Amino acid sequence: MKKIAVMGSGNGSNFETIVKYFAQKPEMEVDITCLTDDVNAYILTRAKNLGVKYKYLPFEQNGSYFAVNNFDLIVLAGYMRILPDDVLNLGKFINIHPSLLPAFKGKDAIHRAFDAGVKVSGVTIHHVTSELDGGKIIAQYPVLIGNLMHFDEFEAEIHNLEHKLYPIVIEKLLKDEVFDFADLLGGCSG
């Protein structure tokens, strides 16, 4: 049994996608716990509706919580705080970011990329460090921005890609395998 913690501060759409992905893979025994630092975050409602364990975890309690709760992987999905090194040393933390890092680190990356007029952006999954969006890159996948593409279309493509890419990369990490672009192409057929 692999234990995953998913940490989020907001809507939780990536969290829900991860839960549903592993629900369709009964051969992978995965135990998911939802953690949030915002008692009003919609991710908690999603966890309740999906029947997934959840916990309100104030930011200041992360160190003591992860010191006594071991997870194979801690997945950040819209978690809006920078974790300090003493917490990061307690597990294997990964994050997803809606740009091709190192470009457009931090908040509002989708808007900033679109407003800058870049023709290629995308999604990055990376190891978490105490530097904002600065950890080693695990996987990236591009989104092309056509001249006639509207912001809403671009944003929808980024989120669609996040929902396809993140669960596959999580599965690869849990299996101690390396992600390859062919994994995403094969994973898109559903």
DSSP H or E run through 115 = helix 109-116
Which pairs count as long-range contacts for 18-21, CB under 8 Å and 24+ apart, including other chains? 18/75, 18/77, 18/166, 18/167, 18/170, 19/50, 19/52, 20/50, 21/167, 21/168, 21/171
- Please tell me the distance from the alpha carbon of residue 140 to that of residue 100, in angstroms, as a whole number: 7
Cα 77 off chain centre by = 4
Whether 111 is catalytic is no
Instruction: Check: CB of residue 147 under 8 Å from CB of residue 114.
Output: no
Point out the residues that are catalytic.
Answer: 97
